[in-house]
Amino acid sequence: MLEKNDVSHLDAICALHWACYCGHPELVETLLNIGCDPHYPDDINLETPIYFAIRGSNVPIVQMLVQRFGTELLCHENRKRLTPFLLAASEFVEDNVISTLHMLEFLYLSGVSLEEQDASGRTALMLASRRGCQFVAQWLLSRGANLAHRDHLGNTVLHHACESGDGDTLRFLCKHGAIGLIGSKALAATAKEETALGICLMKRRFLQYSMLKMWSWQYALTGRLLAFRSPYPIYYWILAMINLALYWRIYATLETTTSIQSAIVDVWIVGWIISQCFWFITFASDPGKARKNPVMSQSHRTSSNFENDIMKDAPMLGGTFEAQMQSLQKQQELINYELYRINCDSFRRNSWVAHEDFSGELSEPLDPYGYAGEDGLAQRVQVCKEEAQILQTEMHALYPQVGMERQEHCVFGYADAVMGSVRDLGISTVCITCNMIRAARSHHCGTCGVCMVRQDHHCAWVDNCVAKGNQRAFCVFVSSVCISLCHTYYVMYLHFASEFARMKFDWIWDGPNIVFGVVGNAAWLAFVGYLCVRIARNMATDVTFYEYLRKPEHIRHRFKNQVQATFWDFADLSLLKAIANCGRFWVPS
């Protein structure tokens, strides 16, 4: 068929579609050159070839299609009323995070609106949150996606996040302003499903419900949200307090000790306090962020009132065409609000379900589709649809100019790397979420959501990254914990030696002493000891734990690609060099 140039048959069997999906750029280019139609929709989902390329996470093919045929390809809607951008944000290969973000950033720099929505008024942020994908939600918020957006039923991004049940996504959204939406009500089949809390209860996610309640109380009292990313800091403090309780009991009952032994026992509490102080320092300090706050809080834009939120103006970003785009997006919000009010009226007429927005209930429904009635719901819906279509056309016309403005506002080299216009600048040279060229020896932490300079690892126990800014505090913290645990065993030894000497045992306390003080602390000491050895190794070799595991390009260049053996990081090490590396570790530069 290629030799005969049978274009009609090739389009009929979706040859271009499947070539895009499978990721064959040469075949795609050949099919385009012989005349295959890039606008041809398939028969099932009405999707053009660019949809298939997005599903296959084939960024080079998407770049080829947009560069050859323009942003008109990005304005198509499939059978579900999803544009290519909405599809990229909601249906992707989860294992391929880099390609997904690269795809979204390319579409963004091509000029697409972050507030594109499907037939129900759901934006990319809502669809990503509903899927429970934190990294896409983070990217969208870093580009300025509206957290206060509501769909045609009044659902917020918090409603959709509670549908997914992903705790990390929910915490991230709440931390950046979504907690203000916790009282927002949407139209639902039952009264329980009107709010995000009600959705949690309906789905029997009681832990999620409790966390949202605690965060809402904290936000109401302090105006901010502080939430651990994992339960490990809580586990650490439980272990620390257990050891303190055991020590206090031993200290109160210890009798037969010398003055030196008593002094050593007294020093234990000092070591314990030092450990906790350096835990707080490591937890609260800046690890060494390459860029400050890539995601800004939108708490000033969110509340439980739909009408109040749409009247709040968003910060004007970008140039003239971007400002026009934001003005059209504001008009789109007003249309969404009108459709929400229409749905409220239809809900009142056609449903027996009680809703607090309505003063009363009808004894029976009227027209099953809400088209009858003196207020003319059908006419109001038609007017909204026509206005929305006009707005959509105007926004699509702005895409090329908005894309040029966005590319011009990027740092030098960033847009070229994303758009694929320069061969020497690969996507590995930039961080898409932070919107920057990667700094030397930096790595993006998915948990913290920002690039860290000289990152060692993300420590769940202190709920923070360990990098250039707090590596010294973390080293002191781990060392003090290790010494404190060794000290604990000496105190335990004195306690049991004293009991054996008197042949008097208190099994109510000796049981916990053996379980937690001896056995439990042994596992903890082994782990902390391993961390001490690892830190000493990283300090001497000037190779972080992340660099040891991932072997990035600068490490392979430094060690001339000899990074296969177990101790490859010692290859260029001498005593003087190790001392110099340790000095650089402790002296901030």
**Angle at the Cα of 141 (from 302 to 147), degrees rounded to 5?**
20
pLDDT at 581: 92
Query: CA-CA distance, 108 to 83, in Å (whole number)?
Result: 13
Q: Which of 261, 258, 257, 255 is nearest to 504 (CA)?
A: 255
- Residue 443: inside a domain: no
**Residues 284 and 322 reside in one and the same domain:** no
What dihedral angle (degrees, nearest 10) is formed by the CA atoms of 304, 310, 316, 319? 140
Question: Quick one: which of 270, 239, 231, 237 has its CA closest to 519?
Answer: 239
Residue 247 CA, distance from chain mean position? 41
Q: Could you tell me which residues are beta bridge partners of residue 452?
A: 289, 443
Q: Are residues 79 and 167 in the same domain?
A: no
In a domain, 448, yes or no: no
Element (H, E) at 103: helix 97-109
Does the residue 447 lie in any domain? no
Question: What pLDDT is recorded for position 374?
Answer: 45
Res 412: pLDDT: 84
CA distances from 388 to 102, 286, 311, 343, 486 (A): 29, 45, 18, 16, 69
- What are the structure tokens assigned to 328, written together? 């059209």
Same domain flag for 304 and 345: yes
Q: Is 450 a member of any domain? A: no
Domain co-membership, 329 together with 373:
yes
Tokens read off for 389: 């279509």
Per DSSP, the residues of 421-460 read: --TT--GGGEETTTTEEPPTTEEEETTTTEEEET--EEET
Into how many domains does the chain fold? 3
Residues in the chain, pLDDT under 70? 1-13, 253-258, 261, 314-316, 349-375, 423-425, 499, 501-510, 589
Residues 136 and 221 in one domain: yes
Question: 31 near 15, Cβ under 8 Å?
Answer: yes
Q: Has residue 492 been placed in a domain?
A: yes
Gap between the Cα atoms of 374 and 233, Å rounded:
60
Same domain, 241 and 206: no
At position 126, the amino acid (one-letter code) is: M
Q: Per the domain annotation, does 104 fall within a domain?
A: no
Residue 105 within a domain: no
Q: Which long-range contacts (CB under 8 A, 24 or more apart) does 493-500 make?
A: 494/250, 494/254, 494/257, 494/261, 494/265, 495/250, 495/253, 495/254, 498/254, 498/255, 498/256, 498/257
| Residue 188 counted as domain residue | yes
Cα–Cα dist 133/142, whole Å: 15
pLDDT for the residue numbered 121: 93
Both 336 and 429 in a single domain?
yes
Q: How far is CA 82 from the centre of its chain?
A: 23
Please state, in angstroms and rounded to a whole number, the distance separating the CA atoms of residues 112 and 135.
19
188 and 249 belong to one structural domain = no
Task: Say if CB 128 and CB 140 are below 8 A apart.
Answer: yes
Residue 272, domain extent: 232-290+456-586
Structure tokens at 30: 């050949």
pLDDT at 308: 86
Which of 438, 467, 486 finishes a domain?
Answer: 438
Total residues belonging to the chain: 589
Final residue of a domain: which of 96, 124, 154?
A: 96
Q: Please tell me whether residues 357 and 212 are part of one structural domain.
A: yes
Concatenate the DSSP letters of all residues of 520-531 into one string: IHHHHHHHHHHH
Residues 427 and 493 reside in one and the same domain: no
pLDDT score of 255: 63
Whether residues 241 and 338 fall in one domain? no
Q: What does DSSP assign to residue 73?
A: G
Q: Is 308 found in the same domain as 207?
A: yes
CATH number at residue 127: 1.25.40.20
